[in-house]
């Protein structure tokens, strides 16, 4: 009877301890905190960009574009000479702050973010066979919302793809790739909280040792 009570006590202690097994070797199932990440990201209207992050999943993205249209632009108020060719271009910058939500097995995360897009638009007009870019000199400020998926591969590399809505009117996308580092405990293993199944298995091992 005393032995049964002893086993039962060990089982309860193991089961209710949330940090049990903290320094055991990690597995692919564990959730790891992001210490640092940096990479390139691309959007069609602003192809130059990068993402930097850390602090367990927080990140910041920056995209910008300075097109050839900004050279020789005639800015002003009123209708320009000639007719509009239908071609447009934009110069500007977009920045976002977000958080990459852990989904499963350290391989998949859900980045969600919010930010602003600051752009100047240019329009190409044809005036008697000569083309010229025109701009009104105004800056368009629009809110950006994004959500997508981040796939972590080879332990320290990631690929990402997100959907963006700009000003709640324009649909866009962003793709990226970079490097990622995770936090580790003093033994070199990422920290882990074990599941109920792990604890029951460990209890069985302890019971077998005492029974022997």
Q: What is the pLDDT of residues 118-171, one digit of tens each?
A: 998 888 888 877 888 888 778 889 999 999 999 988 878 999 999 999 999 889
In this prediction, residue 77 carries a pLDDT of 57
Contact 63, 94 (CB under 8 A): yes
Per-residue pLDDT of 3-33, as tens digits, reads 544 455 444 444 444 433 333 334 444 566 6
| Residue 56: count of CB within 10 angstroms of its CB | 15
Specify the pLDDT at position 118: 93
Taking residues 58-68, report their average pLDDT. Answer: 88
Contacts of 125 (CB under 8 A, 6+ apart): 80, 81, 82, 83, 84, 85, 131, 132, 133, 134
* Position 45 pLDDT exceeds 80: yes
Show the domains of the chain with their CATH numbers: 1-22+193-212 (no CATH), 29-191 (2.40.160.20)
The CA distance from 109 to 94, in Å, is 22
Distance of CA 191 to the CA centre of its chain: 22
Closest CA to 164 of 34, 38, 45: 45
> What's the rounded mean pLDDT across residues 64-80?
71
**pTM of the entire structure?**
0.64
């Amino acid at each position: 009877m005393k032995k049964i009570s002893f086993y039962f006590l060990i089982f309860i202690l193991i089961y209710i301890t949330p940090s049990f097994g903290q320094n055991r070797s990690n597995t692919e199932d564990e959730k790891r905190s992001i210490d640092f990440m940096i990479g390139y990201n691309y959007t069609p209207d602003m192809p130059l960009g990068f993402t930097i992050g850390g602090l367990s999943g927080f990140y910041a993205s920056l995209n910008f574009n300075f097109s050839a249209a900004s050279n020789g632009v005639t800015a002003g108020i009123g209708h320009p000479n000639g007719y509009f060719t239908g071609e447009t271009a934009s110069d500007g910058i977009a920045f976002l702050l977000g958080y990459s939500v852990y989904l499963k097995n350290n391989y998949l995360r859900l980045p969600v973010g919010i930010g602003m897009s600051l752009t100047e638009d240019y329009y190409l007009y044809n005036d008697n066979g000569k083309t010229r870019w025109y701009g009104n000199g105004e800056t368009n400020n629009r809110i950006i919302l994004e959500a997508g998926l981040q796939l972590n591969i080879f332990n320290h590399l990631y690929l990402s793809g997100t959907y963006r809505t700009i000003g709640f009117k324009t649909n866009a996308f962003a793709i990226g790739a970079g490097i990622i580092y995770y936090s580790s405990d003093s033994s070199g293993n990422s920290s882990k909280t074990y599941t109920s199944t792990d604890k029951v298995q460990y209890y069985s091992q302890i019971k077998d040792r005492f029974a022997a």
